[in-house]
Amino acid sequence: MRVTNQMISNNSLRNLQTSTKRLDSLTQQLTTGQKIQRASEDPVVAVRALKLRNTVGQLQQFKEKNIKDANSWMELTENSITSISNYLEYMNGYCTQGSTDSFNNDDRSAIAETIRSYKDMIFSEGNATYAGRYIFSGYKTDTSLIFSATEAPKYSYEITEELDKSDIDVRTITVNPVDPADLDGYLDGSLDYTTDQYPEQQTIYRLRLGYEDLATGTTPTITYLDDAGNEQTITVNSTLDSTRQEVYYKDLGDDEVRYIPETGEIVFGKNVYSDIQNTEKITIDYTKDEFKQNDLRPEHYFNCVQTNKETGETVNFEITEDDQKIEYEVNFNQNIRVNTLGRDLITHDMGRAIDELASKVEEVADAESRLAELEGMLTNPKYMHNPAAVEQINYMIADAENEVKMKNQEMQELFNAHISVFQSFQTDVTSLQSDSGARNAKLDMIASRVADQYTNFTDLMSANEEVEYEDKAIEYSANAIVYNAALQVTGGVLQKSLLDFL
């Protein structure tokens, strides 16, 4: 084949262009640090880069946001559960102390106040929030578990409370308290004092509702299933109005049912108790239109209808078996639950148990105060020179001493019985604490795994996209030498033309 000068020139220029392109590519790789600038340069690298970047982006989301958010939520939950467990442990200590009646009268008021403060502290934990969301309210993260002072007056509820035979409580109560204020009535004959009426104990059967002080003028509606499975209705016969709780228990008829507003108790006579003691389902419907701070919100615990008293708007709430899991995606195909339901952690039974202990301590303190007042009347000039008054006071002191003994015994028995009650509460809370701790430990392992994955995939992405500067620098130097040589050779080829030979 004949080779012409033109062919030599064209080949030299084409090869020079190839060297120039290679040198330009290396220059861009060294200045940008990237293997390719356009997908067309290496489709395999480009496709792999898209996949690796997507994976690294997801891992970064898990590592820096999802896991951190989940961890913060769970740590706050665990701190609240731990606090509640500690308060229950303190209550158990008071129960042990109270079962031996190691309290003295000067301490009783302070003890009752301290016990109630534990309830407030336990319930206040129910309104813990994370990033503006209530952590114990299930899916209702915008609704508090416990009423605040501003929310409490806004709503009324029609509540349906489901109970069973295990909720029926049998108690011994001291009635006919001795009251120094009645002394003048006994002396002037306007009141009759009979020693065998003061004081005495009687057995009562009761159910405790979730709330006390129901809507004025209303009484609970009670239905239950009898042995044949038929629905029966119990009528509340009386709602007494008294400032002394003991009055509600006195002279209760065998077929009578009383509602006690101050305590939310429904007290049954013997025959009514006999009818319901084996039932598996007791349904109580009632209306409550006044709530106070630290009351549990009914929509988290009961089927109920809420009415906004300001707007008249109503909302129907139903409690289902759904445990309302709130989950975070913390790794590929891995979710973790972050929430604990408040209704499993803080219960009405817990609050009622604390209130009852505090009330019983106050009852004993009140009885001892009345006894001390009677003893002081013996030295009161108004009575000390009146033989009839002294005799009446001595009768009342003897009965008051008996009342104090009875109520002390009741208090010790109640505290002793509540040792197991609070141990049961603490067991339930500890179970939730263990579950939360196990999920937290699992999250820590996932976080470690995600961190390793993030490091590995970041390295893979870097290896796929970024150049090795040392290798590319050597390659650039070699290609620069080739390029300069090509320039020199091409310059020599192209500098002569046909005119040079004419």
Determine the pLDDT at residue 421: 92
Is pLDDT above 80 for 15? no
Residues 357-366: tens digit of each pLDDT: 998 888 888 8
In DSSP terms, 224 is beta-bridged to 232, 282
Kindly state the tokens that stand for 428.
Answer: 């339930």
Q: Which of 167-181, 382-396, 428-442, 473-487 has the lowest mean pLDDT?
A: 473-487
Is pLDDT above 90 for 46? no
The model's confidence at residue 441, banded by pLDDT at 50, 70 and 90, is: very high
Determine the pLDDT at residue 403: 92
144 in Cβ contact with 129 (< 8 Å): no
**Sign of the torsion formed by the C-alpha atoms of 358, 360, 363 and 369:** negative
Torsion of CA 271, 273, 275, 279, to 10 degrees: 180
Q: Percentage of residues in the chain with pLDDT exceeding 90?
A: 48
Determine the pLDDT at residue 53: 83
Determine the pLDDT at residue 244: 54
Determine the pLDDT at residue 197: 66
Q: What is the pTM of this model?
A: 0.81
Is pLDDT above 60 for 500? no
Identify which has the larger pLDDT, 197 or 61.
Answer: 61
- Listed in sequence order, the residues at least 6 apart from 268 whose beta carbon sits closer than 8 Å to its beta carbon are 168, 204, 205, 206, 207, 234, 256, 257, 276
- Residues 334-347 have a mean pLDDT of 93
Determine the pLDDT at residue 472: 64
Average pLDDT over the chain, rounded to whole?
A: 85
The model's confidence at residue 460, banded by pLDDT at 50, 70 and 90, is: confident
Is pLDDT above 90 for 58? yes
Q: Which of 106-115, 132-141, 280-289 has the lowest mean pLDDT?
A: 106-115
Is pLDDT above 60 for 48? yes
Task: Give CA–CA dist 496/363, Å, rounded.
Answer: 124
- Residues 442-455 have a mean pLDDT of 93
- Residues 34-58 have a mean pLDDT of 76
DSSP 128: -
Q: Which of 14-28, 48-62, 336-350, 439-453 has the lowest mean pLDDT?
A: 14-28
Task: Give CA–CA dist 194/289, Å, rounded.
Answer: 42
Is pLDDT above 90 for 486? no
Which residue in this structure is represented by tokens 């200045």? 31
192 in Cβ contact with 247 (< 8 Å): no
Task: Give CA–CA dist 153/282, Å, rounded.
Answer: 29
Give me the phi and psi of 257, to 5 degrees please: -130, 125
- Listed in sequence order, the residues at least 6 apart from 361 whose beta carbon sits closer than 8 Å to its beta carbon are 98, 103, 108, 111, 112, 115, 411
Residues 211-247: tens digit of each pLDDT: 988 888 888 999 998 888 889 999 887 665 555 555 6
- Residues 461-478 have a mean pLDDT of 67
Determine the pLDDT at residue 98: 81
The model's confidence at residue 495, banded by pLDDT at 50, 70 and 90, is: low
Torsion of CA 258, 264, 270, 272, to 10 degrees: 80
Distances in Å between the Cα of 194 and the Cα atoms of 176, 189, 401 are 11, 12, 16
Identify which has the larger pLDDT, 397 or 465.
Answer: 397
Q: Percentage of residues in the chain with pLDDT exceeding 70?
A: 84
**Domain-by-domain residue ranges, the chain?**
143-323
The model's confidence at residue 133, banded by pLDDT at 50, 70 and 90, is: very high
Count Cβ atoms within 10 A of the Cβ of residue 57 and give its class: 0-12 exposed, 13-18 middle, 19 or more buried.
Answer: exposed
Distances in Å between the Cα of 223 and the Cα atoms of 196, 216, 273, 284 are 38, 21, 13, 6
10 Å Cβ neighbour count for 100? 10
- Residues 24-38 have a mean pLDDT of 66
Task: Give CA–CA dist 260/359, Å, rounded.
Answer: 14
Report helix, strand or coil for 5.
helix
Identify which has the larger pLDDT, 47 or 35.
Answer: 47
Report helix, strand or coil for 380.
coil
Q: What DSSP assignment string belongs to 462-490?
A: HHHHB--HHHHHHHHHHHHHHHHHHHHHH
122 in Cβ contact with 350 (< 8 Å): yes
Element (H, E) at 22: helix 5-32
